[in-house]
Chains A and B, each alone.
Chain A
C-alpha cells in the first residue's frame, strides 16, 4: 500500500462505524473486538504510509491524491489527501492513542449500556480525525472538523440519562460551533480571495502576496477563532472541563490527545498564511499565553481528578499555541505528540482509578492508592513527571523546545509568563498525584474496595507510559536516525519551510525548565505531603476570595450563563414576542380583522329601508354627475 491510499486509514474505521452502528447491538460483546481491529488496521497502515513516505525516492515531498468532486461553472471543487510530515505525525498520534483507548475501553466500559454504540462512535471519531489531518483542502478540513465535533457531542453525552452529561455535550457542541462560525467565515474569505480551497494553493497565494494585508488578517483571525473553539482556548475553554462528563476513555482520546489538538493542527497547517498576516502570530501567542496562565490558576483549586487534567490539557494546548505563535510549527507538533501520549496516559490512569473506586473521582476521598494499584500508580507517576516537565521525560523536551522558540520569537517577557504557567503545571500535577496516590486513604470505605484493574486496562497504560517516558528522545538527531528517519527526525519534521535544523541542547533553558519544575513540585509537596491539612489550606486561609475565585474558575461559566440568558435568550424572547404580537397578531391577523371590521361597519349601510336605498342611488347619480362635470367639463 502506498501513501496515496492513505485515505484507507479513515475509510476503514468509517466502515466499521457503519458496521457497528447497524449490527453492533446483537453481536457478542457488542463487537468491541471490531473496534480494536479497525483502529488496529489503521495503526498498522500508518506504518505502511510512513514507510512509503520515507521510501519515496529522491527528495522527500508531500504526497497528493485528489479527485474532482463537483463543478459549478468554472468553480471546480476537488477533494483529496495531502500527506506531509505533519500529517504523518498526526497519523501516528491519533492511531496510537485511539488504539490504546479502544483496548482500555474494553475493560473500562464493560457492562455499560449501549456498549456497541460507544465503540461505533469511537470508530467514527477516529475516521473523522484522520480525515481531518489528511485533508488537502479547507472544505474537507471543515467537514471532518464538524464530524469530529459531532462525535465529541455523542460521546460526551454518552450517559444521556444524566442531565449534566447532556448539558455538557450541548455546551461543547455549541461553544465549538461558535468558533466554527469564524472558521467557516475564514475559509470562505480565503476562498473568495484565492478562488480555491486547496491549502497549498492558498499558502502559495498568501506568500505571493496576492491577498491584502487587512483582509488576510481578518481571514486568518476568523480561522483562528475556530481553532480556539476546538482547542478550548480562553475564552472558549469552558466546554472542555465540562466535557469530562463523558466516559473517561473518551476524555483521554478526544479531550486530551486528539480532537482538541485539531485547532493546533490547523493553525500549524496554515501557519505560513498566519505568518504573512501581520500581527496574527502575536495574537496566537497572546491567546496561548493567556490560556496557559489562566487555566493553570484554575487547575490549582480543583478537587476532581479529571477536572484538573482537563484544565491541564487546556493549558498545554496553550503551550502549543505559544509555540505556533513563535512561528515554529515543528515544536508545536512535537509537544502535541508528547502531550498526547502522556495526557492520554494520565486520563486512562485516572480512568483506571475511577473504575477501581467505583466512580469516585474526588481527590478528597482518595489517597494512598499506589499501594493498591501499583501498575496504575507507577504509570501515572511517569505521566505526571512528563507533564510536570521533569527531565528526561517526554514533556521536558517538548516544553524546553517551546521556551527556546518563544525566546527567539518574542523575547524574555513571554518566556517568563510561560514559565509561570509551567511552574503551576508542575504544582498541580504534583498535588494531583500526591493526593490521589500517596498518603493515607481519606475514605476507608472507598479504599477497602479498590483493586488493580485488569490487564486489558493496564496494558495500554504501560504502553503509553513507555511512550511518555521515552518519546521525547526522538528530538535527538541520532535517535531519529536510529529509528529509521533519514536525516534525523528534525529534518523530517522541518520539511520545506524551515530547512534542515539540528536540535541542540540549550543548557541554560534546560536548567530554567528544570528549575521551574522543581519549584512547582516542591511547593506542592510542601503543601500536600503527609497528612497534615494545615498547609494545604494555606491559600484558602490567606485569601478566601482569591481561592474562591480560583475554584469558581474566574467566574467564566457564570459570566457566560448570564450572557446567554440575558443576551441571546433574552433577544430570542424579544424576537419571538415580536413575531407573535407585532408581525402576526398586529400585522397579519390585524389586517384580516380590519377587513372584517370594515365589512362589519359597511354592512350597516344596508338598513333595509327603501328611502335609504333610494338615497344611495340618488347620491350616486348626483355624485357621478357632479364629478363628471368637474372632471370633464
Chain B
C-alpha cells in the first residue's frame, strides 16, 4: 500500500470538519452559548490535530503531490471536457506547511473567541466557514475550487468585522471586503482567460500548469495576465499599493478575525501568487518578477516606516503586516530556491507571530477598551505574562534569531541577495526599522511608570495562555529547528517552474 491511498480523506476531513461544525452550530439554539463554545473548541482541536497530521505525514522524499482525493464534479458538459471540474484535493510541501499554520491559528483563534457573548453562535458559524475556505484554497488542485474556496474565505469577513468589530468597523469591514473581492475580480478574469486560452476543457490545475509550461498558454498571454493574477492575489497579500485595507481592517476586526485574517488569509494571497502566478504562468513570472520585487521592497520599507509613528497598537501590526508580506513577495520574486522557500517560511512565520500579536492586543483591549499606546505605560506590573507573550511576538516580528521571523527573513534575504543585492539591503534596513517600531511599543506600553487607571487589569486567562502558548511553540519551533519546514517547502519549491537553485 502506497502512502497516498486513503490519505486524501484526511485532507477532505480537514476542510470539511469546519463546515460540518458550522452546520452543527446552525442547529444549536443561539441561547446555548456554552454549547457553541464547546463545539467550536472541539472543532478547533480536531482541525489542529488533522493539520498537524498532514504536516507530519507529508513525506519529504515522496511524490510531489500527496494525499490526493478526486471527485468528479462536472464534466463532459458544454465547454467542460474530461475532468472539467473536479473536487481535486491534495497537498504539496507548501500547502502542508500552510495547513499546519491554518490549523494552529484556527484553534488558537477559536479559543481566543471564548469571551464573545454577543451572538457567539453566528460568530462561530462564520468563523468556521471562513476557515473551511482557507483550507479548501490551500488544498485545491482545481482552478474552479481554488477560486471557490478563495472567495469563500473572503466572504464571511464583512459580517465578522462589521458585527463583532470595533473602531470604525463598518468602514473597515466594507473597505476590506471590497478590496479583497476587488482583487479576486482580477483573478476571476484571469481564470476565464486561462481556461479559454488553454482550451483543454478542464479546470484541473496540474493540467493547466503543464499547459503553462509547454507553451499552450502563449508567452504573450502569460505576460498579459500574469500581472492580473498577481495583483489580484496581491491585494490579499497586502501588495503595495493595494494594502490599505490591512491597517484599517485589522484595526476594526475582532481578535480572532484579526488573528485568522492576518495570520492565514493574507497567506492565501501569496499562495495564490505561487499557484496561479509562478506555477501557471512561468513565462509571465519570468518577465514580471522584477516588478513584483520592486513592489515588495516598497511594501517592506513603506510598511515599516509608516508603522514607526502609529499610536494604535493594531495599526502598528497592520503596517508591520504590510512590511512582512512585502518580504514574502520579495521572496517569491527572487525566483530562486532559497528565496521562495524563505517566502513560504515567512508566510508561516508571519502567520503565527501576527496571530499572537493580535491575540495579545485583543487580550488588553477587551479590558482597557483602548489601544492607544499613549494611554498605557508600565503594564508589565499588572500583566507580566501578557508582556512576555507580546514581547516574544514582537521579537519574532523584529526578526530576532531563535524565533521564526529570523528564519524566514534570513532565507528571503539570502535569496534576494542572490539576484537583487540592493533590494536585499533595503529589506534588511526595513528589518531594522521593525526594531524601531516594536521597541517603541515596548517602551511606551510595557515600561515606564504605570498609570493607576490600569491597576485592575487582569493578566492572560488560561485560555489565552493556551492559545498563545501554541503559537509561541510554533514560533520557537521554526526559529530554532527549521529543517522540517524547509524540507517540506523546498521539496515543492524545487519543482516550481522557473525557480533556480
A400 interface hit (Cβ, 8 Å): no
* Cross-interface CB contact of A150 among B305, B378, B400, B493, cutoff 8 Å: B400
Task: List the one stretch of B43-51, B97-105, B434-442 in contact with chain A.
Answer: B434-442
Task: List the one stretch of A80-88, A315-323, A418-426, A582-590 in contact with chain B.
Answer: A582-590
Task: List the one stretch of A188-196, A373-381, A408-416 in contact with chain B.
Answer: A188-196
Task: List the one stretch of B120-128, B268-276, B327-335, B405-413 in contact with chain A.
Answer: B405-413
Are B448 and A163 in contact (CB-based, < 8 A)? yes
Query: When A71-B487, A72-B337, A180-B432 are in contact, do A191 and B400 touch as well, CB less than 8 Å?
Result: no
B395 interface hit (Cβ, 8 Å): yes
- Contact string against A for B residues 29-51, beta-carbon threshold 8 Å, 1 for contact and 0 otherwise: 00000000000000000000000
Are B432 and A177 in contact (CB-based, < 8 A)? yes
- The total of Cβ contacts below 8 Å across the A-B interface reads 146
Q: How far is the CB of B61 from chain A (nearest CB, A)?
A: 12
- Contact string against B for A residues 169-191, beta-carbon threshold 8 Å, 1 for contact and 0 otherwise: 11001100110110011001101
Q: How far is the CB of A584 from chain B (nearest CB, A)?
A: 4
A153 to B394, CA, bound (A): 13
Are B449 and A161 in contact (CB-based, < 8 A)? yes
B6: chain A residues at CB < 8 Å are none
Task: List the one stretch of A299-307, A343-351, A567-575 in contact with chain B.
Answer: A567-575
Task: List the one stretch of B153-161, B280-288, B421-429 in contact with chain A.
Answer: B421-429
Query: When A173-B435, A189-B417 are in contact, do A73 and B309 touch as well, CB less than 8 Å?
Result: no
Q: How far is the CB of B379 from chain A (nearest CB, A)?
A: 10
**What 8 A-B pairs have minimum CB-CB distances, sorted nearest first?**
A143-B401, A572-B308, A160-B447, A166-B447, A584-B244, A70-B483, A72-B490, A73-B501
Are B418 and A192 in contact (CB-based, < 8 A)? yes
* Cross-interface CB contact of A74 among B305, B401, B501, cutoff 8 Å: B501
Are B432 and A181 in contact (CB-based, < 8 A)? yes
Are B482 and A170 in contact (CB-based, < 8 A)? no
Dominant secondary structure at the A interface: helix
A507 interface hit (Cβ, 8 Å): no
Are A569 and B401 in contact (CB-based, < 8 A)? no
A584 to B241, CA, bound (A): 9
A401 interface hit (Cβ, 8 Å): no
Are B400 and A174 in contact (CB-based, < 8 A)? no
Q: B interface, how many residues as a size bin?
A: 35 or more
Q: How far is the CB of B199 from chain A (nearest CB, A)?
A: 29
* Cross-interface CB contact of A178 among B302, B425, B432, cutoff 8 Å: B432
A185: chain B residues at CB < 8 Å are 417, 424-425, 428
Chain B, Cβ-Cβ closest to A572: B308
Are A576 and B309 in contact (CB-based, < 8 A)? yes
A491 interface hit (Cβ, 8 Å): no
Are B402 and A166 in contact (CB-based, < 8 A)? no
Which chain A residues (114-164) contact chain B, with CB distance < 8 Å? 139, 142-144, 146-147, 150, 153, 157, 160-163
Known: A192-B418, A576-B310. 20 other contacts (CB 8 A): A69-B483, A70-B483, A70-B487, A71-B483, A73-B494, A75-B337, A146-B406, A160-B380, A160-B448, A161-B450, A166-B443, A170-B440, A177-B432, A181-B432, A184-B431, A185-B425, A185-B428, A568-B436, A583-B241, A592-B178
A584: chain B residues at CB < 8 Å are 244, 248
Tell me the B residues contacting A by CB distance below 8 Å: 175, 178-179, 241, 243-245, 247-248, 302, 305-310, 319, 337-338, 341, 378, 380-381, 395, 398, 400-402, 406, 410-411, 413-414, 417-418, 421, 424-425, 428-429, 431-432, 435-436, 439-440, 442-443, 446-450, 481-483, 486-487, 489-490, 493-494, 501
Are B305 and A575 in contact (CB-based, < 8 A)? yes
Are A587 and B378 in contact (CB-based, < 8 A)? no
* Cross-interface CB contact of A188 among B302, B401, B413, cutoff 8 Å: B413
* Cross-interface CB contact of A160 among B302, B435, B446, B486, cutoff 8 Å: B446
Are B401 and A181 in contact (CB-based, < 8 A)? no
Chain B, Cβ-Cβ closest to A592: B178
A569 to B436, CA, bound (A): 10
Are B401 and A71 in contact (CB-based, < 8 A)? no
A169 to B442, CA, bound (A): 10
Q: How far is the CB of A85 from chain B (nearest CB, A)?
A: 27
Tell me the A residues contacting B by CB distance below 8 Å: 69-75, 139, 142-144, 146-147, 150, 153, 157, 160-163, 165-167, 169-170, 173-174, 177-178, 180-181, 184-185, 188-189, 191-192, 568-569, 571-573, 575-576, 579, 583-584, 587-589, 592
Are A583 and B244 in contact (CB-based, < 8 A)? yes
Are B411 and A72 in contact (CB-based, < 8 A)? yes
- 20 inter-chain pairs at a CB distance below 8 angstroms, sorted by A residue, are A70-B483, A72-B411, A73-B337, A73-B490, A160-B446, A161-B378, A166-B443, A170-B439, A180-B432, A184-B428, A185-B417, A191-B417, A572-B306, A575-B306, A576-B306, A576-B309, A579-B244, A584-B244, A588-B245, A589-B175
A143 to B402, CA, bound (A): 7
A540 to B459, CA, bound (A): 53
Q: How far is the CB of B150 from chain A (nearest CB, A)?
A: 21
* Cross-interface CB contact of A571 among B179, B305, B446, cutoff 8 Å: B305
Q: How far is the CB of A20 from chain B (nearest CB, A)?
A: 14
* Cross-interface CB contact of B431 among A74, A143, A153, A181, cutoff 8 Å: A181
Chain B, Cβ-Cβ closest to A166: B447
Which of B308, B395, B424, B449 has its CB near the most chain A CB atoms (within 10 A)?
Answer: B308
A588: chain B residues at CB < 8 Å are 175, 179, 244-245
Are A572 and B241 in contact (CB-based, < 8 A)? no
A191: chain B residues at CB < 8 Å are 414, 417
A73: chain B residues at CB < 8 Å are 337-338, 490, 493-494, 501
* Cross-interface CB contact of A72 among B381, B413, B417, B486, cutoff 8 Å: B486
A98 to B363, CA, bound (A): 38
Chain A, Cβ-Cβ closest to B322: A579
Are B244 and A192 in contact (CB-based, < 8 A)? no
A74 to B248, CA, bound (A): 42
Chain A, Cβ-Cβ closest to B499: A73
Query: When A160-B446, A189-B421 are in contact, do A173 and B175 touch as well, CB less than 8 Å?
Result: no
A139: chain B residues at CB < 8 Å are 410
Are B443 and A167 in contact (CB-based, < 8 A)? yes
B440: chain A residues at CB < 8 Å are 170
A576: chain B residues at CB < 8 Å are 305-306, 309-310
B398: chain A residues at CB < 8 Å are 177
Are B244 and A170 in contact (CB-based, < 8 A)? no
A189: chain B residues at CB < 8 Å are 417, 421
A587: chain B residues at CB < 8 Å are 241, 244
Are B401 and A147 in contact (CB-based, < 8 A)? yes
Are A569 and B308 in contact (CB-based, < 8 A)? yes
Q: How far is the CB of B377 from chain A (nearest CB, A)?
A: 9
A170: chain B residues at CB < 8 Å are 439-440, 442-443
A592 to B442, CA, bound (A): 37
Q: How far is the CB of B433 from chain A (nearest CB, A)?
A: 8
A146 to B410, CA, bound (A): 13
Query: When A72-B411, A174-B439 are in contact, do A188 and B417 touch as well, CB less than 8 Å?
Result: yes
A180: chain B residues at CB < 8 Å are 432
Are A75 and B338 in contact (CB-based, < 8 A)? yes
Chain A, Cβ-Cβ closest to B482: A70
Are A71 and B448 in contact (CB-based, < 8 A)? no
B490: chain A residues at CB < 8 Å are 71-73
Q: How far is the CB of B62 from chain A (nearest CB, A)?
A: 16
* Cross-interface CB contact of A166 among B243, B448, B489, cutoff 8 Å: B448
A165 to B450, CA, bound (A): 15
* Cross-interface CB contact of A568 among B308, B411, B446, cutoff 8 Å: B308
Q: How far is the CB of B45 from chain A (nearest CB, A)?
A: 25
Q: How far is the CB of B427 from chain A (nearest CB, A)?
A: 10
A143: chain B residues at CB < 8 Å are 401-402, 406
B442: chain A residues at CB < 8 Å are 166, 170
A572: chain B residues at CB < 8 Å are 305-309
Are A72 and B341 in contact (CB-based, < 8 A)? yes
Are A575 and B449 in contact (CB-based, < 8 A)? no
A589 to B171, CA, bound (A): 10
A248 to B489, CA, bound (A): 47
Query: When A579-B302, A587-B244 are in contact, do A161 and B402 touch as well, CB less than 8 Å?
Result: no
A70 to B411, CA, bound (A): 11
